[in-house]
Structure 1
Amino acid sequence: MENQTLKKSVLFVLLITVLVSGISQGLLMPVISIIFEQQGISPTISGLHSAAFYIGILIASPFMEMFIRKFGFKNVILIGLTITIVSNLLFLVFESIFIWFLLRLLIGIGANMCALASQTWITSTVGQKSRGVIISIYGLCFGLGFAIGPYATSLIEYNENLPFLLLACLSMTIFTIVLFLENRHSISYEEQVNFRLLDFFNRFKLVLNYAWVALLFPFTYGVLESVINVNLPTQVLRSNLDLNLIAVLVSVFALGSIIFQIPLGIMSDRYGRRKILAISTAIGTFSFGVGVIFFHNIILLISMLCIAGMFVGSIYSLGIAYMIDLIPKQLIPMGTVLSGIVFSFGSILGPIIGGGLLETIPHFNVLWIFIVLLLILSIVLAKGIQKEL
């Protein structure tokens, strides 16, 4: 009974950690985008600058599997939180765009350490029957934080430093809570001995061979999330729409994902991940299409982003659950790392492509990026389902 209580308490702390991570990401990116837009910095530069966060994730990702096995989940989370706290506080000291780039890169490293350690801790301890639900709850917590975060963008009207102070304080709180957890490692000694017989790149190839389709979803979600955070605020400002609409659009998408995270997780456990992902991407494509056509109809735009969030906002967590279904247990840490890498690539490419298209194509709508990506995913999944039949 004590072990069961311990597991529940650990899960609760990890979910709170993910919640704060969502708040951090949901707040930091739009805040810096708004500051840059007000300073007259071009969308392309803003998009390139936002890539620093995801470059940090990419830098950390190849080493994460080794760090988790060597130091354990708890210690990796604590190191990541320390990096995040210090970096947020340094935003108050420096105003240089280059130094802010470095600070965003460091926050990316710290956030990746927290996210991958928490995610691997959860995925390596839950069974397949409840995997979809648990990972959906994980995604729900991130989505809830992601929805809450943008509402704090209004703090910059009082003082530009307030959002960074808030994020530092939240991270300090989580750091204190995590200190009380018992440290754990990703795999047992016997599994670790066998696991080391494979080198890093062989494990990398194995995961790709088993689950390349599943990895398309973290990539797509990376593009989607970063474009919504970085390019959509710029488009709203350039369309002469209300500044407060930025927080509403970002948060309703996240709200939609919160509403449907657990139901989609339950349905994926029951009917299969591939079928649920195919339906979700098809509905997401339609919703973004309607959003493009009626972009200046605020009520309809908000409604379509909420519906898109309900179905597409879960593709990251469902994609990871799908990947874990496809790979052997000893490859789960590498699969989690690889998910982070492809997510980062998507997150880096998204704002750069979105910013470039906004600057070069008159009246371009960034929602077209989502339509094209989701349509490709729908076709790939539909072909896979036909083969199964």
Structure 2
Amino acid sequence: MTLTTKSSKFPIRLSPFFLLTLVIIISGLSQGLLLPVLAIFMEERGIPSSVNGMHAAALYVGSFAMTLVAERVLGYTGFKKLLLGGMVAVMIALPIFPLVSNLSIWFVLRLLVGVGDSAIHFTSQLWLLLLSPRERRGRNLSLYGMSYGLGFSFGPFGIRLLNYSQLLPFVLLSILTAVAIVLVLIRLPNMYPERTARSVKETRKYGQIYRLAWFALFTSLLYGYMESTMNSNFPIYGLRIGLSAEQIATLLPFFGIGGLILQLPLGMLSDRYNRKVVLMIAGLSGGLLFLSVPLVGNSFWGLLLLFMGAGGLVGSFFSLGLAYAADLLPIALLPAANVIASFHFSIGSILGPNAGGAVMESVGPGWLFILLGSLYMLFTLTGFGFKKRSLEKS
């Protein structure tokens, strides 16, 4: 898979890597703010956690829907146009949230944001993956993941701006998105994935990808589950164990900060040693830390340290999993593998708020993290049964 470029009348002075990471930082900011703010709004209105969780999943339903058509749309529009379309959708939807209080309208807006975010992530991930040589794949995708983590970490700080105006953080995010749209519009060429010979029939392509790289693609489902659980369910968990909204807003960024600290070292380690082993060790350690969360109760500093540690260990799961899949698959299957990774992320993100809300309501708040930690332990165990296979043997 190579890339073809259509000429642009604007000189390119900013690298594609820089602009794509800038876009993903802003995307992280929007998700890091939107989910916890709306969860707090709904909890304060007395809406049950199960309903809150189902409503939060609307964002990922939109993401899932976009995933189903992303590969085909990319072939028609090219990277730049699909990326811009996603950014415009997010920019339009964000400032409408604080202007209305109708849950049905919020549901539709979440769907729109989900479609936009999915277009942004699918395009930028695949673009960087195809541009990265194998020996720097883990590093580059980790830097990409760090960029998202940076935005994701600072997003919840926008909760503090609500004291001035409910509209303020959403408008600021829309302005930042608009600036990024202008930069992408004038500084990036429109690039297309080059069409390759269809050596693999469409009906067999996805089956082959799963046979060759199911373990690597499991990571994106776990990452989606974890991210949506932390954003949508933890604010409810925090309020129910006695934390204030300000404490919740302070704690959430430290999960992403841990990812910022360890993501690049883990990516570089995976380039040098064994990516599968790095993923298994991170999953085991992160799972144990999640299981420890109920043990510290509402201790602010205990939660902060656990979130930093767990975030550092599993915050790179999506990017490392995608890099590992690229090691296992022929290059012609990478766009479809990226679709599957995005699909898994969406499924995990839909399951997270629903499962988390249901288990907190039916069993107890602490089970939110018992379930989350157990999933990472299960991931580590399945790794012992995964063996690298060649395309011919699949």
Band of TM-score, shorter chain: over 0.9
The 1:8–1:59 alpha-carbon spacing in structure 2 relative to 1, beyond 3 Å, is same
Offset at 1:383?
Answer: 4.1
Q: What is the match of residue 310 of structure 1?
A: 312
The 1:364–1:300 alpha-carbon spacing in structure 2 relative to 1, beyond 3 Å, is closer
Q: What secondary structure is seen at the aligned counterpart in 2 of 1:362?
A: coil
Q: What secondary structure is seen at the aligned counterpart in 2 of 1:185?
A: strand
1:334 and 2:331 equivalent?
A: no
What is the distance in 1 between the residues matched to 2:170 and 2:351? Answer: 25
Offset at 1:108?
Answer: 0.4
What is the distance in 2 between the residues matched to 1:359 and 1:270? Answer: 45
Q: Is the 8 A contact 1:274 1:385 kept in 2?
A: no
Q: What is the match of residue 132 of structure 1?
A: 138
Q: What is the match of residue 246 of structure 2?
A: 244
What is the distance in 2 between the residues matched to 1:386 and 1:281? Answer: 19
Q: What is the match of residue 158 of structure 2?
A: 152
1:13-92 superposed matches below 5 A: 13-92=19-98
Q: Which amino acid letter does the alignment assign opposite residue 195 of structure 1?
A: R
Gaps of 5+ in 2: 1-10, 390-394
Q: Is the 8 A contact 1:28 1:163 kept in 2?
A: no
TM-score (norm: length of structure 2): 0.92
Within the candidate set 122, 127, 145, 1:121 is matched to 127
Q: Which amino acid letter does the alignment assign opposite residue 156 of structure 1?
A: L
Q: Is the 8 A contact 2:294 2:366 kept in 1?
A: no
Q: Which amino acid letter does the alignment assign opposite residue 80 of structure 2?
A: K
Offset at 1:112?
Answer: 0.8
Q: What is the match of residue 185 of structure 1?
A: 191
Of stretches 317-326 and 236-245 in structure 1, the one that deviates more from structure 2 is 236-245
Offset at 1:180?
Answer: 1.5
Offset at 1:38?
Answer: 1.2
What is the distance in 2 between the residues matched to 1:64 and 1:339? Answer: 12
What is the distance in 1 between the residues matched to 2:282 and 2:29? Answer: 25
Gaps of 5+ in 1: none
Q: Which amino acid letter does the alignment assign opposite residue 101 of structure 1?
A: F
Q: Is the 8 A contact 2:61 2:111 kept in 1?
A: yes
What is the distance in 1 between the residues matched to 2:373 and 2:274? Answer: 24
Q: What is the match of residue 375 of structure 1?
A: 377
Q: Which amino acid letter does the alignment assign opposite residue 125 of structure 2?
A: Q
Q: What is the match of residue 203 of structure 1?
A: 205
What is the distance in 1 between the residues matched to 2:144 and 2:25? Answer: 9
Q: What is the match of residue 283 of structure 1?
A: 285
The 1:8–1:280 alpha-carbon spacing in structure 2 relative to 1, beyond 3 Å, is farther
Q: Is the 8 A contact 1:121 1:186 kept in 2?
A: no
Q: Is the 8 A contact 1:124 1:186 kept in 2?
A: no
Q: What is the match of residue 325 of structure 1?
A: 327
Q: What is the match of residue 9 of structure 1?
A: 15
Over aligned residues, Cα RMSD in angstroms? 1.9
Of stretches 41-50 and 158-167 in structure 1, the one that deviates more from structure 2 is 158-167
The 1:92–1:238 alpha-carbon spacing in structure 2 relative to 1, beyond 3 Å, is closer
Q: What is the match of residue 347 of structure 2?
A: 345
What is the distance in 2 between the residues matched to 1:145 and 1:269? Answer: 25
Deviations 1:10-61 (A, max 9, x none): 1100000011111111000001001111111111111001111100011111
What is the distance in 1 between the residues matched to 2:351 and 2:382? Answer: 21
Q: Is the 8 A contact 2:240 2:365 kept in 1?
A: no
Q: Which amino acid letter does the alignment assign opposite residue 348 of structure 1?
A: I
What is the distance in 1 between the residues matched to 2:264 and 2:186? Answer: 28
Counting aligned pairs with the same residue, the percent is: 33
What is the distance in 1 between the residues matched to 2:17 and 2:128? Answer: 7
Offset at 1:367?
Answer: 1.1
Of stretches 234-243 and 100-109 in structure 1, the one that deviates more from structure 2 is 234-243
Of stretches 35-44 and 91-100 in structure 1, the one that deviates more from structure 2 is 91-100
Q: What is the match of residue 225 of structure 1?
A: 227
Q: What is the match of residue 117 of structure 2?
A: 111
Q: Which amino acid letter does the alignment assign opposite residue 255 of structure 2?
A: F
Q: What secondary structure is seen at the aligned counterpart in 1 of 2:57?
A: helix
Q: Which amino acid letter does the alignment assign opposite residue 375 of structure 2?
A: L
Q: What is the match of residue 265 of structure 1?
A: 267
The 1:215–1:23 alpha-carbon spacing in structure 2 relative to 1, beyond 3 Å, is same
The 1:123–1:6 alpha-carbon spacing in structure 2 relative to 1, beyond 3 Å, is farther
TM-score (norm: length of structure 1): 0.93
